[in-house]
A = this chain, B = another copy of it.
Amino acid sequence: MDRKKGFIRKTRQRDLILKTLRGTDTHPTADWIYEQVKKEMPNISLGTVYRNLGKLAELGEITELNFGSKYSRFDGNAENHYHFVCTECGKILDVKGCKVDKELEKCVEQNNNVEVDFHTTLFYGFCSDCKNKKG
């Protein structure tokens, strides 16, 4: 078997963490995932959760989101897509129906003498719930 440097062993912990993250679209924090996973595997430690989330992100299986500086959130959908953050309730949503604009990257490259690999965009505002609640 190919055991080159960076070889990743399959473990029950990692499988469960990935399954849990893939099973939600709430963009949870590491701690939320930890709490969920603990229900099925009570002895798992927070450190293990962090280590696995880090590895999964490194492998490109998931995405780590750093909105605001407080804590990281994780997205089981590794495909590049936009996010929306509700400034009222803090909810994070995947943006539907709007394609990631690769043309914009060309514009940035041409005007700034850089090479762009990808970009992330965050929209801020009111989600449908909070939009209705406010005056």
Residues of A within 8 A of B (CB): 64, 66-69, 71-72, 82, 84, 86-87, 93, 95-98, 101, 104-105, 107-128, 131
User: Which residues of chain B are near A107, meaning CB under 8 Å?
Assistant: 97-98
Contact, CB under 8 Å: B121 / A97: no
Contact partner of A116 (CB less than 8 A), chosen from B68, B96, B109, B125, is: B125
Chain B: minimal CB distance from A102 (Å): 11
Q: A117-B87, A131-B114, A131-B115 are in contact. Are A108 and B95 (CB under 8 A)?
A: yes
Contact, CB under 8 Å: A112 / B95: yes
User: Which residues of chain B are near A101, meaning CB under 8 Å?
Assistant: 101, 104
